[in-house]
Each structure stands twice: as C-alpha cells, then as structure tokens.
Structure 1
Amino acid sequence: MRSVERRTWYIITNSVLGLWMLAAIAAVTAHRFLPHSTWLMVHVTMLGAVSTAILIWSQHFADTLTRRQAPGGRVSLGIRLGLHTLGAALVIAGILSDVMSVILAGAVIVAAAALTHATTMILQLRGALASRFGPLVQFYAVSALWLVVGVGIGFWMSQLSADDPLRGRLFVAHVAVNLLGWVGTTVLGTVILFWPTVLHARMRPTDGSRSPLVLTVSMFGIVVVLAGAAADAPPLVAAGAVLWLAALGLVLVEGVRQITDAARLSYAGLSIGAALCWLAVSVGFLAVGVGTSDGWATAVDRLAWIVQPFIAGFAVQIVLGALSYLLPVIMGRPNARKKCEAELDRAAVFRAATINIGIVAYLLPVPSVVKVLLSIVVLCVFIAFLVLAVRGVVVGLRERKAEPAPAADAQGVQLGVGAPPQKAKPRRALSGQLVTAASVILLAVAGGIAIDPSAAGINTLGGTEVAETGHTTTIDVSVDGMRFVPDVLEVPAGDRLVVELSNTGTDVHDITFANGVSSERLAPGDSETVDVGVISEDMQGWCSVTGHRAMGMELSVVAVGAAAEGAHDHGDAQDSDAGGAAADLDFTLSTDAGFVPYDAALDPAPAADVHEITMPVTETEVEVAPGVTQTLWMFDGTAPGPVLRGSVGDVFDVTLVNNGTMGHSIDFHAGTLAPDDPMRTIMPGESLEYTFTATRAGIWMYHCSTMPMSSHIANGMFGAVIIDPPDLAPVDHEFVMVQSEFYLGEEGGPVDPDAVATQLPDIVAFNGYANQYRDVPLEVKAGDTVRFWVLDAGPNVSTSFHVVGGQFHTVWKEGDYSLKDGGSTGVGGSQALALAPAQGGFVELTFPEAGNYSFVSHIMSDAEKGATGIVHVTE
C-alpha cells in the first residue's frame, strides 16, 4: 500500500465511509418498512459511518501529532478498517435476522478492531518524539478502549428479554459508554487542536494545556455513569454525565475564544461549532433526564429524546464538518485545494442553518406530518454534502493535474496551520442564506400543518351549535394492531366526551380529533385521559403518527340526537387535500355491518373432466370498501368472478351472456386457441360459446379483453382458473387470493379510466374488497398445512405475497416448483411469492401455534391500501 499516493489512499478509505453514509440514508428513507428501524438507523449511522470516520482520521491525526507513522502503517489501518466494517455488518445482519451467533461474531470482531486500534495508538505514542500536542493521541487510545466496553455491554443487553429489569440499566450504560466514551472522547481530543485549525485562528501558548485534565475528568465521568448503572442509582449516572459535561466545558471555553480570532467563515467551522453545541445539549439532557427519572424504564424513554439531536445534530455534523475541511486539504496543491474547498463551501450558511433550525423545529411538539417534512428537508441537505464532496474531489483532482507541482507538495493535514484566509462573503449574502434557510423550514412546518391541521390543534369542524347537557360520556378506547377499539363512539349531542385511551398495541400511537384535541404520543402500555370537549356534531378521530391513519387507525364520533343536516359534512377538512380518493376511505368494517366476505376457501377439483359453465355479465353497484361503492362490471355477479378448477386434460365449455349495457368479452389464459372468434366482443343481449382444453397446470387469469382492457379489468372483470399439477399433495386447507386494484370514480359510478392510466390505485384488495379478511379472518388450527393460491389480476401493480410470522416450505410459481418440502436440504424456506400482473402460483406453510397471522402484499403501500388479511389460528 505504500506505493499508493497519499490522497488516493484517503479517497479509497473514505469511500468506505461514503458507503456507510449511503446505507444510513437508505435506512432513514425506508425505515417504515424495516424491522428494528430505530435501532438500525442509529447503528448504521454510529457503528457504521461515524466509527469508520473515527478509525480513518484519528489514525491520520495521530501520525501528524506524533510525527511518525503507526506500527504497520497503512496495512495495519486497512486491516482495522476491514475488521470493523465486517464486524459492524455482522452485528446489523445478526440483529435483523435474530441470529445470536452472528451478533456475537460481529461484536467480537468490532471489539478486536477497537482493541487493536487502542494498542496501535499506545505504541505509536510511546515511540514518538516529545511534542506539544502529542499527548492528544491518548484520547484516541482511551476512546477505542471505551468502544470495547460499549460493545460488550451491548451484546450483554441483547441476551436479555425486553422486560428484564437489568436491561434498562445496561441500556443507559451502553449509550453513555459508546456516545461519550467512544465518540465523545475522540471528539474532545481532536477539537482541542483541530477547531482552531479549521477556523484559521491564532494558537496561543496556553491552548491545549488543559488536555490532561479534560481526559481525566471525562474518563472519571464515564466511570461514575457505569457505577450508577451498576448500583441502581440514576442520580449517580446524572453526576457522571455532569462531570463529562464539565470536561467538554473546558474545551468549549478555549473554543469560544478562538471563534473571535477566526479568519474565515466556512461550512466546516459552522458544522463543527453547531455539532459541539448539540453535544453539550445532549449530555445535559442525559444528566437531567436520567437524574430526575423515577426508574430505569422512564430513563430509557427519556433517552429516546437525545437520539435525533445527538445523531443528526452532533455526530453527523461533526463528521461532515471535519470532512469539509479535510477533503480539500488532501488535494495538496493550493489551487486544487481552493477549488475543492469552494465546492464544499457552497451555500455554507444556508446548509448549516437549515440543518440546525430544522432539528430545533423537529424537537418541538409539532404534528407527525411536520416532523416527517422536516426530516426530509434535513436529510436532503445532508445528502447534498455527498454530492458536493464528489464534485469537490473531482474538481480538485482535475485542477491538480493542471497545476504545476510546487517544490514541496503538501503531505497531508497540518494541524494548527491554516491556509491563507479567503475573502469573507458580504454580510448581505450571508443574511440572505439565513433568511432562505428559515423560509424553507417555515414552509415545511406550514405544509405539515396544512396536511394535518387538527394534529396541530386547529379545529376543522363547522362549529354547529348545540345546547350543552352538563353530562359527561366517558369511553375506554384501546388499540388492536392498527385499529382503535371501539372505532365508533356514540355520544349524546351536547355531552362532554372523555376518552380513556390505552395503548395496548406494539407501536407508539396517539389520538387526534377533528376539533383539534390531541393526546400525547403514548408508548406501548401507556394511557392518557383525553377531554375531547362538548360533542355538537359527528367528527373523525385518528392516529396522527405518519402512515398509521392510512393503515386503518381511525374512529368516528357520532353525535346521537344532533340535527341530521350537515351532520357528515365536517369530519376532516384535510381529506380532500391529502392524497386523493384513497385518503377519504375508511377501510374498517363496522362490527354490526353483517358483512359476508368473498369465500376464499377452495373445494377440490370436480371429478368430471368436462366443465359446463354459464357466465352472465352484470353491471351492479357494489361495496368495494366500507362505505365506498362502485358500479362494477362482473362475471356471474362477483368480482373476482367465480373460481374454476380442474385437472390437466379437462375441457371447459363456457357460455358468456352479456346482460350489461355495453360490449364485453372474455379471455381465458388457461387455454390455447386462436383468439379471433372466442375472445370477440359481444353486444348487450348477445352470448357466445368459448371452449378450451386445459393442457397445462397453473392458476390462470381470465378477464374481459374489450378495449380499454385496463378499465374493464380494473372495474371487476377478472377471475381465476386453477388447473392442478398432477402431483399436487393434499393439505388441510386451500384458499385463493386474487389481488386486484380499484381506481375510484364518482361514488357509485364506474372506474375512472384516467386514474387507471396513472397506475396509482386507490384500493388494492384481495378478492375484490379492501381488508375483508382482516376484519373477518380466515380460520385454521395450529399444525394445519395451508395452501394459498395467489393470482395477481392487476391490471397494473405487482404483488409480493407474505404471511407475517409464517415461512413457506413449498413454493410453486407459473407452472413449476421453486421450492418443495424444504428443497434439497429439507430445511429451505421462502418468505414471499412475487408475482407480476397476470402471474400466479401457490405457497404452502404450517402454522406452529395459535395466534393471528397477517397476510399482506409486501409492497407495503399496497397493503396499506387494503391488500391485507388475517389467518386466525386456534389450538
């Protein structure tokens, strides 16, 4: 590796950091669909990106401060970096797959890399010449040892159940050791010299003289935190955090003075300065939050507050700020450095202000939608750094090639030595960037409030007057999955409604009413009394946590005895603006609706080898979701049409009778024949004979092929033909699931063809009705083997059929087995059956124990539009 040029080495090693950053962005973007989402976002960022940056740059700073290369040189660093990357990846993979051996292997490898790093720092420091700032390398050695301790505590914690009383104490210790010990100690040692370097501030003889005291106090503070956790004493944890905060204060005192001597304003300086402020805020909240808690469970809940400010405010900003200074420096030559620096300093004030104002706004008690929009804004600004970094390196390298080599090319970062300061930007430009940043954040806040005004405390009702009765109606409301129970609250008009909300679910929830009254966000097991106010008219209530309402967390407040006029006009003013027709749908069945779902149970194939079927076409207004009706065009009065079943070699003689008001036709994929005559369109009152022989096995689609075909399929004209493969084994239960899409037109009217063309359905359903098997589950017994036949009727959207809590031991798709009885190993399994429109297959699984097993399209936004159900398994 010695032959690799220094700047090339930096670019290669920092590409690993870039990959971790991309992984963190992906985790944040897709967190709603990922297991252990909060843990994943934290650890991809901290254990992945931030720790990688520490390994790379602490070694470089150690080389610079000791004026000698570390034992093993780049080879040693490459091995440590590779080990840490592998170990971190294994820890993450082990947690996601819940495989303890993988978690243990990853933890051991990460600890080994950290221990090697600490040893390297110690050896390098012992052989170094005396220098003023050389002892700062001690911070890096100590911080790596803290990582070994933090990893050990983390693995210990992973062995405990969620309700183990020791888990809370270990969690606090794990957070403190990793954040204050590994990351915080590294930062303390670095900023003592790096901060004035970034600012191009003059170094004074006393600068850095307190570093031994800083290291001692910070170490003692973490030891006290650990002692507090071990002794079951939260106030002692708080005392340790205060000690650590005092060590940070010693560094910040000098840092504030150095700001006054700063020669230029750069993104690096702004970002690092803001990061140090967030670090102080986070440690302060750690001290107050844990010290005043009435138990470890409360302390853990309070520590959740510091996740965003510590990671986004401190950790990410400290890394981006450091890289904004370091990447230009490694260009070496002056012009190349300036070009790279100019790229990374683009809109510096705007970027820094947007990030930090956005984080402050996020931490305020704003609605969930506002938090989502603020997160998107801040994330986009973070992503902009990656774009600018790539541009800066490319521009710098290009300029370097064109720039004559000086007598002595720069060999790296010279701490304490700044480049000649650039001319400061005019104050008008800087204030303009500040105003723009504030405007962007205000726009995000205003947009979120406009989307969900009730969650912001704004009354969206019409203000109907009613005489107050002086009575109070109290109703207990609990949570079942993604539903409120009950979901209809009947209250005499004029009564005051009080809701006793208990979060009996497994996620954080709240309840928001259209009159602007909201509860706090409740963790699982928490409860709150919500005074909704005097009920004068019907209104809606919902969970305002982003995405939960779309998944069915709504309820209705019915004002019994209120005037009928306009009673349903004011439910939720946001619906018409918040996502089209789908936002208006209530996908929850009323308990007294008497609803009968489409019969998903399959009978065996008839013994006869000739099947005579008459299929009348009808056009009827039917319900496709609770309270949502459409005029569907159907085969034999159902959508999907009747399921036909037979064996290879069977003959199907179908008579199509058009009892509709327009031309229709039928196309059976299960047969092979020239389509000219049997698939022709027939007019109202006409009929045709369609005969085909089933020569191949499969679950085949049939549908109307009259143009526009997409609209005819989307309006209900589809069904399934099942031709059994010859070796089909018997099972205890067979069900059929035909997924289709609805593109809603006017209430009670037919499909909206313009909406079909967008390929963005309002409803995605199994067997023609949104969520019907969630509200009326399928019934089987534990130990039963169940076969699901699945067909994607489209017309536009694919499916990925998945059973939550289940694993498929047999998968048969489009005419062949991809897995049978566990495959060649006997223990193989499958988690999803992916199908494009007009494809089909079946999966088999056995439910091991009683419970409720959801089945969904794992294209999760479609599951949230109605493609979900439940298998209720009894003993």
Structure 2
Amino acid sequence: MPPISAPQRPSTSTARKGRSWHRTAGKPVRWWLVALVIVIAAHRWIPDTRWLMVHMVTLGLITTSIMVWSQHFTEALLHHKLPDSDRPRQIVRIYGVTAGTALLIVGMLAGWWWLTVIAATVIGVMLTWHGLALLAQLRTALPARFGLTVRWYATAAFFLPVGAVFGAILARDLSATWHSRLLLAHQAVNVLGFVGLTVCATLLTLWPTILRTRMRDDAVRLLRIALPLMAAGSLLAAVFAVLGTASLTAAALLLYAAGAATVGWLMLRTGMQRRPEGYMGWSVASGIAWLVVTTVLAAWLVLTRGVETSVAQSLTIPFVAGFLVQTLFGAMSYILPSTMGGGPATVRASLAAMNRAGVYRVTVANLCIALFALPAGVLPSWVRALVSIVGAVVLAAFIPLMISSAKVAIAARRRAVAERASGTAPTDRTGATAAESSRRGMGAATQFLAGVLTVLLAIAAGIAVAPQSAGFSLTGSNSSSAEGTGETTEVTMHAQQDMRFDPSEIRVPQGNRLVVHLTNDDPTTVHDLVFANGATSGRLDPGASATVDVGVISNRLEGWCSVIGHRSMGMTVDVIPVDAQGQEVTATGTDGSHGSHGHAEHTGTDPAQAADLNAAPGEGFTTRSPALAPASDETVHRMTLDVQEVAREVAPGVTLDAWTYNGQYMGPTLRGKVGDTFEITLTNGGTMGHSVDFHAGDISPDQAMRTIAPGESLVYR
C-alpha cells in the first residue's frame, strides 16, 4: 500500500502564474504613477494641469487599482479562484479603462468632444463589464461570510458609468450654473459613490488585517447600515445637485457623511484593540477622516452658498489628496507586499520597506493638505506654494519605497531558491533585518514631531521669501523725523481684473495716518495688498473687502499684490507724502522704503535717448513683411498664439524685454471672411499672466478671453 502523501502545496508554476497576473494587471498603475510625477514636474508647460492631474489620479490610479484589488479580494473572500482562462478578459477590462482614460485626456486637451464621448463610453462599458463579472463570480461561488463586500464592489462599479455621462456633458461649453451643478453631481457619483463605497466595503476585512487584530463581532452589522446610507446619499446628492436644490443636496451629503462616519467609528473601535503602527494604518485612517470631514464641509458650503457656486472645485484638494491618494497609498503599501508573496519573512521585509518613516510621512502629508485646503486668503502665496511642494514630495515618496519593497522581495526569493538548491536550511535573515531596521528607526512620537517641524520650516521659508505678505517688515516702521499730524487720510481702492490697483498712486499729506479700504473687483482670482512697512490686507476672494491701516506716512512707500506673478504684472501702488502745496516731500531715508533714491526708479533715463536712429538695426533683427498671407478657402481658421517673454530689439542699439506672440511683439495677422470661425489656442509660456482680447468678437472677453496664469492654455472660438 503506497504511503499517504501530505496535502500538496500549490505548484511553483501556479504561484508564478498568480504573481504574473498581478504584475500584468498592475502595470497601468505604475505607468500612471510615473506619468503623474512627470506632469507635476512639467505642469508649467502643460495646459489644464489641474484637470489633468485630478483625472490621472481618479481614473488612472484609483479606478485601475480598484479593478485590480476588488478582483483580488473577491477571490480571497469567496475562496473561489478564477481559472487562468478568465484572466485575459480581466486584463482587457483593466487595459480598456487605461486606454479610455488616455483618450479622454487627449480629447479634453485637444478640444475634441467626440473623442471625449468615445472615451467616457469605453470607461463606462469596462466598469459595467467589471461589475457584472463580479456578480457572476458571486453567483457561482459557495455562500461566503463576506459576500456582502463583493456585492458592494459590483454595486459601486455601476456608479462610475453614471459619473462618466456627467463627465462627458461637462466637456461641452456650459453656463457657469450648469457647470457647477453637473460638476458636483459628477464628484458625488464618482468620488463618493464609486470610490467611497469600494473603499469602505474593503475596510471590513482589510482594516483588521492591517492592524493585525481580529474583526469586531458587530462589523458586518454596522457595514450593512453604513453602505446603504452612503449609496443613497451619493445618488440623491447627484440628483438634487442637477435640480439645483441646495437644501436637499446638503441633506443628501449629510446622509452620506453619516454612513461614512459609521465606518470611521467601526475603524476607531477596532483600532482601540490595537492601534496603527505605521504608514499603512495611519494613512488609511487619515483618508477616511478626510472623507467624512470634507463631505460635511461640502454640505455646509452647499447650504450656505448654493449649488451653483464652485463647491466641488474648492474641495478638490481634500477629496483627491486627503481621501483618495492617502487611502490608495495606504492600502497599496499593505496589499503590494502581500500579493508579491515569498513567504512570511519576505512579506515582513517588504512591509518594513514600505513603512519607512511612516508616521513622519503621514504627519507631513496631512498638515500640508490641511494648510493648502484653507481658503485662499489665509496663507501668503509663497507659504502656500512651499507647503504644496513639501506635501507632494512626501506623497511621491511612495514610488521609490514601492520599488525598494519589490527589490527586497525579489532578493529574498532569490536567496531562498539558492538555499534550497544548496541544501542548506532556510534562514530568516530578511525578517531579522526588518526587525533591526524597525528598532533603529525613529519612534512614532519622534516622527510626528519631526513632521510638524518640517511643515513649520516650510511655512517659515515661505514667510522669509516674502515677509511683507505675512505682515512682517524688514525695513522697520514708516515713522521718520516728521511728527504725526493726528489726522487720517482714508482712500477707497479697487483691485481690478486687468491686474491694476485703482488708484495706483495715493498722495497723502506728510504726517497723516493712511487708511485704505480695498475691494477685490476681480471676479476671476484672489488679490491682496501688502505695503513695504508690513501692513497687509490679507488675501481677498472676488468681491471681498478689507481695511488696511498703513500707519503715519512720512516717506514714500510702495505697496503691491503679493500673489505670485501679480506684482510683476503691474499690481503696485505708490504712496507719496506731500506738503501743504501738494508737492512731493523729499524723503528722509529713515524708513528703509524708497527714500530719496526712489525717483531714479520712476524717472530713469528713457531707453530711446540711447538709441542712434541713423544706425542700422542689429544683426539678428528681422523686418516684418507687411504683406497679408494668401486668403484661405477654409471656414474654420485655427491659430496658436504662444506667449513668450523675450529680448527684442525695438530701436537701433536698444533691446527691451518684450511680451510677444510667437516670438514677435507684433502678433500675426489673422485673415478670414465674414462668417468664418477662428479657433484660437493661447499658451502662456511667460512668467506672469497674459491674455489676448479680440475686440471684434461678439462675446464678453471676461471669461472666454480671460487672463491665464503661466503654464496654462486656453482655447476659444
């Protein structure tokens, strides 16, 4: 009688095929990560970067990752591994979403609405197919305790096609009212519905696994309450947003928040059994906290401002960076090492590599997100910029750590193979190394304090770059030897859309106190007013007002808008002390502002005086032909105007920095027939905002021909 064999372990080839499936399915995630880093680095020269980065995260990273991990967890929870013959169809769905996202980006950037519709259709079809496949797998599997999770995976997948319809409609030229309504509905269905439901359904089993503790007995019961509340809140918020009913939209968002808070409460009670120890747990917990808080904030904004305001846009950073990115990176930091396999020691080593400086990274990321999400008027411009850079770098650290974790796993597997080939007993050197590394690393409290210090240093650096914008003065007060008169001069000033202050010159009797009442009349962006003595208005949203007590005016004083680029565009104001006859008083030079040398800046030598008008132009000068280009038979004329700031010879021997279109300070001539259409693409390659205003256009230029910031692009017809 032959001996009874031990239960067979999966063959090496079977395990290799499983890992191969995950590697193939996960490639698009890595592609999108690399592409996102490139776009962030080159965002200045890429049009519509905000929209582009948001959709690279939501569709490229999040949606693709959800399709991979929902399939992985479905097989694990149902104990029903699909045959290899089904893998090609899964790959088609995942790569189909990747292709659809790429087409969507091309269609949006090129302005091809037909391609946008095709891309949205492809993405919607792939997710519908994915949801149906999960339901089919659920029907063929034996009853499972966590079949609830799989059912909600499928339900969430059907939300995205609805959101894709909203997205395709948003690609059309809509009024501001309808754009705001549909954008809020789009985010309610996609972010709250598709992503939120999938994430919370996964946390039923993933959260206790990350914490390495048992699941609470009431977990399934609480999730049966939370997920229907979230689904109903998401759909109702979308419906009421489209209808424009602010109160009902806010109520639906609060309903969703109640469901998400239930999930958060379950996570908190589970964490009381064993608190998170590193990046994975704290990042996922932070993501759910941002989901609840941001949804409540959205409800409040809708209730107080209405559905037609830009509620969705103002909450993009908390939703995308706070919830989506942190939840994704936290979950992937745990899932990737686990799916790579290689044995307990290898998995421990891979997890340790992903968890380096985990508490520090979570602390910095959340503080930066919170600061950047503050209203535009709170943080000075440079502080806001540096905080965003620090936060982006810390979040992007996930990529090299992911690569490092994979290398650790590969090295451990190779070592294990070599040990088996040599007949030596396998060692646990990898696990020991990970444990030693953990002991050598900073404790959680130390990492937290280091993270807080890092953010404080970023704030201090931003203030150091532009101290006046934060209310600090490096030049001392505005007092001088002249005594104050005890009188006050009050001036009403307006920040205008053409990047100017009105008035741009204030004449004040010497010794009077100056009080400025500033109103931001620019409907497109924020402005502030900062004086060289440190007096500041703080940032003002469109339509907002503030009063600035500038102090006693004894010497000439300069003021400006501290938003990056606005000062160089001409948003400055001069405060000039005058005597009883209205003549400017000679500065005493004790206030450190313009002083007596200020006149040289305003009355310097005219560049034309240095020109020899009888001399020949320079060698690089090219005469512009006055002849019109031949007429075209086309009825739609497309022209790209590339704004550049370059040195150009304007007179013999005189070169000035010029604002140019396509390298020439005299822009190209556009020629067409009555009834023709001109499609203009304006690309700002300069260092400040620029625009072009076609005075013959039968449209208000305020939006269609608005000033765009450096690195942005604008297309209008």
1:555–1:852 Cα change, 3 Å? farther
2:566 alignment partner in structure 1: 548
Which whole-Å CA distance do the structure 2 matches of 1:225 and 1:6 have between them? 40
2:359 alignment partner in structure 1: 349
Conserved? CA contact 2:185–2:239, under 8 Å: no
1:57 alignment partner in structure 2: 69
SS of 1:209's equivalent? helix
SS of 2:491's equivalent? strand
Q: CA deviation at 1:105?
A: 1.4
Q: How does 1:222-261 map to 2 (within 5 A)?
A: 222-261=234-273
Letter in 2 for 1:433: Q
Letter in 1 for 2:308: A
1:264–1:505 Cα change, 3 Å? closer
Conserved? CA contact 2:495–2:522, under 8 Å: yes
Instruction: Pick the aligned partner of 1:329 from 330, 335, 338.
Output: 338
Q: Can you list the C-alpha shifts for 1:447-496, whole angstroms capped at 9, x where unaligned?
A: 11111112212244532335246344434434344444554343444153
Q: Work out the percentage of aligned pairs sharing the same amino acid.
A: 29
1:518–1:138 Cα change, 3 Å? farther
Which whole-Å CA distance do the structure 1 matches of 2:383 and 2:284 have between them? 27
Instruction: Pick the aligned partner of 1:770 from 648, 657, 675.
Output: 657
Q: Can you list the C-alpha shifts for 1:512-536, whole angstroms capped at 9, x where unaligned?
A: 333434445455x534244343451
Which whole-Å CA distance do the structure 1 matches of 2:485 and 2:259 have between them? 60
Which whole-Å CA distance do the structure 2 matches of 1:222 and 1:134 have between them? 22
Q: How does 1:216-227 map to 2 (within 5 A)?
A: 216-227=228-239
CA RMSD of aligned residues (A): 4.3
Q: How does 1:715-734 map to 2 (within 5 A)?
A: 719-720=620-621
Q: Does 1:361 align with 2:383?
A: no
Which whole-Å CA distance do the structure 2 matches of 1:55 and 1:28 have between them? 25
Which whole-Å CA distance do the structure 1 matches of 2:460 and 2:121 have between them? 48
SS of 1:768's equivalent? strand
Which whole-Å CA distance do the structure 1 matches of 2:709 and 2:648 have between them? 13
Q: CA deviation at 1:422?
A: 6.4
1:306–1:401 Cα change, 3 Å? same
Letter in 1 for 2:119: G
Letter in 1 for 2:252: G
2:429 alignment partner in structure 1: none
Which whole-Å CA distance do the structure 1 matches of 2:509 and 2:537 have between them? 22
Instruction: Pick the aligned partner of 2:412 from 385, 399, 416.
Output: 399
Q: Does 1:557 align with 2:575?
A: yes
SS of 2:145's equivalent? coil
Q: Does 1:134 align with 2:147?
A: yes
1:197–1:496 Cα change, 3 Å? same
1:438 alignment partner in structure 2: 452
Conserved? CA contact 1:87–1:110, under 8 Å: yes
Conserved? CA contact 1:146–1:181, under 8 Å: yes
Letter in 2 for 1:61: F
Conserved? CA contact 2:468–2:530, under 8 Å: yes
Deviates more, 1:209-218 or 1:475-484: 475-484
TM-score normalized by structure 2?
Answer: 0.78
1:142–1:491 Cα change, 3 Å? farther
Instruction: Pick the aligned partner of 1:470 from 487, 495, 500.
Output: 487
Q: Report which structure shows greater RCO (CA 8 Å, sep ≥6).
A: 2
SS of 1:769's equivalent? strand
1:214 alignment partner in structure 2: 226
Q: CA deviation at 1:77?
A: 1.9
SS of 1:45's equivalent? helix
Conserved? CA contact 1:140–1:185, under 8 Å: yes
Q: CA deviation at 1:11?
A: 2.9
Q: CA deviation at 1:74?
A: 2.1
2:110 alignment partner in structure 1: 97
1:474–1:268 Cα change, 3 Å? same
Q: Can you list the C-alpha shifts for 1:84-138, whole angstroms capped at 9, x where unaligned?
A: 1121122222222222112111111111112111111221212221111122112
Conserved? CA contact 2:245–2:307, under 8 Å: no
2:321 alignment partner in structure 1: 312
Conserved? CA contact 1:372–1:546, under 8 Å: no
Letter in 2 for 1:297: E
1:259–1:730 Cα change, 3 Å? closer
Greater Cα radius of gyration, structure 1 or 2: 1
1:175–1:538 Cα change, 3 Å? farther
1:694 alignment partner in structure 2: none
Q: How does 1:836-855 map to 2 (within 5 A)?
A: 849=696
Q: Can you list the C-alpha shifts for 1:631-682, whole angstroms capped at 9, x where unaligned?
A: x9x8x579xx733xxxxxxxxxxxxxxxxxxxxxxxxxxxxxxxxxxxxxxx
SS of 2:655's equivalent? coil
Q: Does 1:526 align with 2:543?
A: yes
Q: Which has the higher helix share?
A: 2
Which whole-Å CA distance do the structure 2 matches of 1:70 and 1:51 have between them? 21
Q: CA deviation at 1:446?
A: 0.7
Which whole-Å CA distance do the structure 2 matches of 1:351 and 1:141 have between them? 33
Which whole-Å CA distance do the structure 1 matches of 2:660 and 2:401 have between them? 50
Q: CA deviation at 1:387?
A: 0.6
Q: CA deviation at 1:374?
A: 1.1
Letter in 2 for 1:207: A
1:157–1:400 Cα change, 3 Å? same
Which whole-Å CA distance do the structure 1 matches of 2:134 and 2:200 have between them? 16
Letter in 1 for 2:288: L
Conserved? CA contact 1:782–1:847, under 8 Å: no
Q: Does 1:120 align with 2:133?
A: yes
Q: Does 1:339 align with 2:352?
A: no
Q: Which runs of 5+ in 2 are unaligned?
A: 1-12, 421-433, 631-643, 673-677, 687-692, 713-717
Which whole-Å CA distance do the structure 2 matches of 1:97 and 1:572 have between them? 48
Letter in 1 for 2:106: A
1:79 alignment partner in structure 2: 92
1:501–1:847 Cα change, 3 Å? closer
Q: Can you list the C-alpha shifts for 1:323-348, whole angstroms capped at 9, x where unaligned?
A: 11112112312232222222111111
Q: Can you list the C-alpha shifts for 1:262-285, whole angstroms capped at 9, x where unaligned?
A: 386132112111111111111121
Conserved? CA contact 2:26–2:65, under 8 Å: yes
Which whole-Å CA distance do the structure 2 matches of 1:224 and 1:327 have between them? 35
1:305–1:211 Cα change, 3 Å? same
Q: Can you list the C-alpha shifts for 1:361-401, whole angstroms capped at 9, x where unaligned?
A: 33452212111111111111122110111111022112112
Conserved? CA contact 1:351–1:437, under 8 Å: yes
Q: Does 1:44 align with 2:62?
A: no
Q: How does 1:561-580 map to 2 (within 5 A)?
A: 561=579, 563-566=585-588, 570-571=592-593
Which whole-Å CA distance do the structure 2 matches of 1:79 and 1:254 have between them? 36
Which whole-Å CA distance do the structure 1 matches of 2:411 and 2:486 have between them? 79
1:191–1:111 Cα change, 3 Å? same
2:215 alignment partner in structure 1: 203
Q: Can you list the C-alpha shifts for 1:11-58, whole angstroms capped at 9, x where unaligned?
A: 333231122223333333444443333222222221221122111111
Q: Does 1:67 align with 2:79?
A: yes
1:199–1:585 Cα change, 3 Å? farther
Letter in 2 for 1:321: G
1:262–1:849 Cα change, 3 Å? same
Conserved? CA contact 2:28–2:95, under 8 Å: no
Conserved? CA contact 2:646–2:660, under 8 Å: no
1:498 alignment partner in structure 2: 516
Deviates more, 1:31-40 or 1:350-359: 31-40
Q: Which runs of 5+ in 1 are unaligned?
A: 408-420, 574-583, 594-620, 644-700, 703-718, 743-765, 786-803, 809-830, 835-845, 864-875
Q: CA deviation at 1:196?
A: 0.6
Which whole-Å CA distance do the structure 1 matches of 2:224 and 2:55 have between them? 30
